């Protein structure tokens, strides 16, 4: 058997990937990871200067000849997302991948609030970016992917889409809704050859934790590169397979290996029974 080295080292060669939230955090890491895997990159975000930095990082990963397009657009605008799909097709002729990474934790970079003190405007701002933005981006690329009869959509949710957390009800609501919307879209898109998956990261090392000050971030967080690894893995699964709502969390080691029993007659202190930390 002859091994196709391009398929193993550049599994996304020839594919065009659109990444929302591409101006930083998970979106920037995904752009670099997919570029290195051979994809042409369309980075979408509201800050043009930061999008330029994202493409510079992707070119450091993939080479200076990386085909790329920066689109400073708002995911919450239906017109902007329609323009996103049109401009990507105008430049590259097709869209093969969409990864929706755009998201905010709270409105206006404010701190945590109980539901009783959250204004309707603050609630709507989070829902507009996280849920409406995901819906509009998905909807825009479906207009391209359905005629192609192929494509991959990965919507980034969160473990906050599985369990609610106090003082961030809007964020949790948006992430729960992304999971439900993605599951529905998975069924709708399958007959058109389009695969829809989600990824649900736990705590990730991004600037989002600045909104929690003075409360420190969790002791263990995932680097953004690990989430990007997960996205690439989902994209390179065989076409007849999907992962349904995979969760990614920091790996926590055991203080004492669970398989190692204490010596006879030696007590085990509380908290040292192999529980994960």
pLDDT at 201: 93
Residue 138, SS3?
helix
Q: Residue 242: which CATH number?
A: 3.40.50.720
Distance (Å, whole) CA 199 – CA 156: 5
78 occurs within a structural domain: yes
Distance (Å, whole) CA 176 – CA 154: 15
Split at pLDDT 50, 70, 90, the class of 6 is low
The whole-model pTM stands at 0.87
270 occurs within a structural domain: no
Q: Which residue has the higher pLDDT, 251 or 168?
A: 168
Cβ–Cβ under 8 Å, residues 19 and 31: yes
Report the pLDDT averaged over residues 125-130. Answer: 97
For the question of residue 233 being annotated catalytic, the response is no
Q: Which of 69, 86, 63 is nearest to 141 (CA)?
A: 86
Cis peptide before 215 (omega within 30 of 0): no
Query: Using a CB cutoff of 8 Å and minimum separation of 24, what contacts does 104-107 make?
Result: 104/129, 104/130, 104/171, 104/208, 105/168, 105/171, 105/208, 105/211, 106/168, 106/170, 106/171, 106/211, 107/170
Report the pLDDT averaged over residues 220-238. Answer: 93
Count of structural domains, the chain: 1
User: Looking at 171, 182, 228, 231, which residue is catalytic?
Assistant: 171
pLDDT at 266: 41
Percent composition of the chain: helix, strand, coil (DSSP 3-state, to 5): 45, 15, 40
Give me the half-sphere count of Cα atoms (radius 13 Å) on the Cβ side of residue 24: 12
Distance (Å, whole) CA 172 – CA 13: 36
90 occurs within a structural domain: yes
Q: Which of 96-105, 207-216, 218-227 has the lowest mean pLDDT?
A: 207-216
Domain of residue 20: give its range: 11-248
pLDDT at 108: 81
Report the pLDDT averaged over residues 191-215. Answer: 82
100 occurs within a structural domain: yes
Cβ–Cβ under 8 Å, residues 201 and 231: no
> Is residue 106 pLDDT above 80, yes or no?
yes
253 occurs within a structural domain: no
207 occurs within a structural domain: yes
Mean pLDDT of the chain, nearest integer: 88
Of how many residues is the chain composed? 277
Split at pLDDT 50, 70, 90, the class of 258 is very low
Split at pLDDT 50, 70, 90, the class of 2 is very low
236 occurs within a structural domain: yes
Residue 119 CB partners (closer than 8 Å, separation 6+): none
Give the C-alpha distances (Å, rounded to integers) separating 168 from 111, 113, 114, 227. 9, 7, 7, 22
93 occurs within a structural domain: yes
Distance (Å, whole) CA 82 – CA 102: 16
Encode pLDDT of 51-94 as tens digits: 999 999 999 999 999 999 999 999 999 999 999 999 999 999 99
Q: Give all strands of the β-sheet with 68-72 in edge-to-edge order.
A: 68-72, 40-45, 16-20, 97-100, 151-156, 194-201, 247-248
Place of tokens 């000050």: 213
Q: Which of 77, 88, 65 is nearest to 17 (CA)?
A: 88
Encode pLDDT of 158-172 as tens digits: 999 999 989 999 999
């Amino acid at each position: 058997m002859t091994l196709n080295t391009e398929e193993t080292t550049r599994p996304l060669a020839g594919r065009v990937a659109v990444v929302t939230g591409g101006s930083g955090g998970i979106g920037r890491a995904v752009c670099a990871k997919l570029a290195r895997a051979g994809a042409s990159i369309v980075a979408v975000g509201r800050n043009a200067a930061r999008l330029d930095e994202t493409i510079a990082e992707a070119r450091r990963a993939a080479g200076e000849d990386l085909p790329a397009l920066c689109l400073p657009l708002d995911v919450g605008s239906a017109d902007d997302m329609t323009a996103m799909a049109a401009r990507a097709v105008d430049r590259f002729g097709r869209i093969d991948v969409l990864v929706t990474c755009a998201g905010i934790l709270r409105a206006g970079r404010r701190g945590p609030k109980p539901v009783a003190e959250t204004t309707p405007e603050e609630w709507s701002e989070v829902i507009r970016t996280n849920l409406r933005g995901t819906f509009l981006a998905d909807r825009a690329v479906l207009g391209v992917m359905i005629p192609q009869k192929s494509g991959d959509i990965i919507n980034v949710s969160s473990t906050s889409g599985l369990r609610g957390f106090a003082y961030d009800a809007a964020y949790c609501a948006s992430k729960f809704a992304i999971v439900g919307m993605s599951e529905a879209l998975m069924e709708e898109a399958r007959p058109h050859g389009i695969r829809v998956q989600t990824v649900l990261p736990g705590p990730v090392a991004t600037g989002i934790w600045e909104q929690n000050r003075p409360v420190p971030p969790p002791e263990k967080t995932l680097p953004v590169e690990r989430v990007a690894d997960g996205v690439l893995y989902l994209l390179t699964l065989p076409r007849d397979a999907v992962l349904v709502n995979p969760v990614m969390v920091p790996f926590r080691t055991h203080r004492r290996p669970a398989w190692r029993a204490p010596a006879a007659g030696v007590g085990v202190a509380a908290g040292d029974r192999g529980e994960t930390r």
